[in-house]
């Protein structure tokens, strides 16, 4: 697990930067809470700070990553079940199957912002055990599906219950990690999604041997086994997942952090951008502000066209695509594993680099380019059946590139929205449109009748990445860089006389003291 390195020199530099930021509001006395933060920043520097971050990593990342692993498996295992005779047993056509996959994203997307708002209000120790246990139950019930109507109903219910995990985990991480740490952690978390592709193939390969056991086809065993594991994970969340740092009562000692560490964990995120911090009180006006913010919709474009469309289309089609290279159904399941393992490695590495360099745009564009290269090579080589090795290599590149972009989009969004309630709503809203649009489109562009060349699927993926993601990302970067330059040119003395500390706190990232992460 990559760990951000802190030295005494960097700690002193951070303190100096915060002291310089406080000069801009010199007419306002520093609030006691910020003074306390500066004291803790000095007291818990060096090895003590690294120890705190390690504690956070060990408590949050394994739990959230495993939950996302199960979420991804339960969401995409229909693609594996398809190879085990699911369509024939249910009496569905390929078109009906694709429609069933698409309907999932309607409820999934619609309930993402709702779930994130509920998470913000009640906290992860209540909300996550509830939704995880429910979706595990629904997954087990999928093993009993016997008609197309039943399949549609179960996918709609699965969408409602799974909607909160992905955006909710991003928001939880943003409440515990600073902008210089969050990209790596989101990448480690998202790596569970790519790992799910690897585990999905391995599990499906193993479950294939149960075909016919006790009169059940392999696809029924697949849903039953994965659903039971998810239910168990949901119940464990009650004990393993911590609350938000601000939800711990004052002076209350958590079982995994000392009172001083817990206080510092809250304040270091709250004052990561200087002495002015947004309120932690939930307000519906902050939810409305997220819906009106241009940043929400630009990041939605990136999540939609550069993330959901190619990622979902690849995850649902990869087993079939590998089988089309000439491998048996069972062997195709196993061969989907290596590309996802490689994608996990690239995803975490790219997130780590984006943190170290604090340049989200260049890392994001690098991920898009890598994914494009893989898709284009695959698009060409599928026309040449005698080059299965080259096609298989291209799958590695496509899976890695489109996986690596997701945590960078999440980190870029979180770093540039200060208010927690607004941030939770923004993450939910951008994923609403991204999931509904991207998931419904991505699950239908690789049409079975066009196999193995898939002209619509490949062409759509390339166009969506360039027009829908790379161009909007460039516009977003340019607008924020221009705004940073404008703020750099402002007169500090004039600014401090124009606004009070409360005004600056209320403005959030619109404050003239704030600088966007590019």
12 in a domain, yes or no?
no
pLDDT single digits (tens) 266-300: 999 988 877 777 777 788 888 899 999 999 999 99
435 in a domain, yes or no?
yes
517 in a domain, yes or no?
no
22 in a domain, yes or no?
no
Q: Which among 321, 297, 310, 383 is positioned nearest to 343, based on CA atoms?
A: 310
14 in a domain, yes or no?
no
480 in a domain, yes or no?
yes
Q: Do residues 406 and 307 make contact, with C-beta atoms less than 8 angstroms apart?
A: yes
The burial class, CB within 10 Å (0-12 / 13-18 / 19+), for 492 is: middle
The encoded tokens of residue 246 equal 């601000």
261 in a domain, yes or no?
yes
pLDDT single digits (tens) 331-380: 665 677 788 889 889 999 999 999 999 899 999 999 999 999 998 998 89
18 in a domain, yes or no?
no
Arithmetic mean of pLDDT over the chain: 83
Q: What are phi and psi of 278, to 5 degrees?
A: -75, 160
How many domains does the chain divide into?
1
Residue 277 DSSP SS3:
coil
Residue 23 binned pLDDT confidence (cut-offs 50, 70, 90): very low
pLDDT single digits (tens) 135-147: 999 999 998 988 9
Burial 110-140 (b: 16+ CB within 10 A, else e): bbbbebbbbbbeebbbebbbbbbbbbbbbbb
pLDDT single digits (tens) 43-101: 888 899 999 999 999 999 999 998 988 887 777 677 778 878 888 888 888 888 878 88
Q: Which residue range forms the structural domain that includes residue 377? A: 31-270+286-510
* CATH number of 325's domain: 1.20.1250.20
Q: What average pLDDT does this structure show over 453-458?
A: 86
């Amino acid at each position: 697990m990559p760990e951000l390195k802190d030295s005494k020199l960097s700690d002193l530099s951070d303190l100096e930067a915060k002291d310089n930021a406080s000069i801009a509001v010199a007419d306002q006395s520093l609030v006691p809470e910020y003074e306390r933060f500066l004291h803790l920043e000095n007291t818990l520097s060096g090895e003590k700070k690294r120890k705190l971050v390690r504690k956070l990593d060990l408590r949050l990342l394994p739990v959230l990553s495993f939950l996302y692993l199960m979420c991804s498996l339960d969401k995409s295992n229909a693609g594996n079940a398809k190879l085990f005779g699911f369509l024939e047993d249910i009496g569905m056509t390929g078109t009906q199957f694709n429609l069933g996959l698409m309907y999932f994203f309607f409820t999934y997307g619609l309930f993402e912002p709702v779930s994130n708002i509920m998470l913000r209000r009640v906290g992860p120790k209540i909300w996550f055990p509830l939704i995880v246990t429910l979706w595990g139950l629904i997954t087990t019930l999928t093993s009993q599906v016997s008609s197309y109507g039943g399949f549609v109903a179960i996918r709609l219910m699965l969408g409602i219950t799974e909607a909160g995990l992905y955006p909710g985990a991003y928001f939880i991480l943003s409440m515990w990690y600073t902008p210089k740490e969050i990209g790596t952690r989101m990448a480690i978390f998202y790596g569970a999604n790519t790992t799910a592709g690897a585990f999905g193939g391995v599990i499906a390969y193993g479950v294939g041997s149960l075909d016919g056991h006790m009169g059940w086809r392999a696809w029924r065993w697949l849903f039953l086994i994965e659903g039971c594991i998810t239910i168990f994970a949901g119940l464990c969340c009650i004990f393993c997942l911590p609350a938000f740092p601000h939800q711990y009562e004052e002076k209350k000692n958590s079982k995994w952090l000392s009172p001083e560490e817990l206080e510092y964990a809250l304040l270091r995120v709250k004052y990561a951008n200087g002495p002015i911090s947004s309120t932690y009180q939930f307000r519906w006006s902050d939810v409305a502000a997220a819906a009106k913010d241009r940043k929400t919709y630009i990041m939605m474009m990136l999540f939609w066209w550069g993330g959901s469309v190619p990622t979902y289309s690849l995850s649902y089609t990869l087993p079939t695509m590998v089988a089309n290279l000439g491998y048996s159904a069972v062997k195709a399941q196993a061969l989907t594993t290596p590309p996802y393992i490689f994608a996990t490695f690239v995803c975490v590495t790219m997130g780590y680099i984006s943190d170290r360099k604090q340049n989200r745009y260049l890392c994001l564009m690098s991920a898009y380019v890598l994914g494009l290269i893989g898709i284009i090579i695959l698009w060409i080589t599928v026309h040449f059946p005698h080059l299965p090795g080259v096609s298989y290599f291209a799958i590695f590149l496509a899976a890695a590139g489109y996986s690596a972009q997701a945590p960078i989009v999440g980190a870029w969004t979180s770093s540039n929205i200060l208010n927690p309630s607004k941030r939770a709503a923004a993450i939910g809203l951008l994923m609403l449109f991204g999931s509904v649009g991207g998931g419904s489109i991505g699950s239908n562009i690789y049409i079975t009748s066009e196999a193995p060349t898939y002209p619509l699927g490949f062409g759509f993926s390339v166009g969506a990445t360039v027009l829908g993601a790379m161009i909007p990302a460039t516009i977003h970067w340019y607008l924020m860089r221009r705004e940073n330059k404008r703020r750099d040119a402002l007169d500090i003395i004039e600014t401090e006389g124009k606004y009070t500390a409360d005004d600056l706190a209320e403005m959030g990232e619109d404050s003239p003291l704030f600088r966007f992460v590019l």
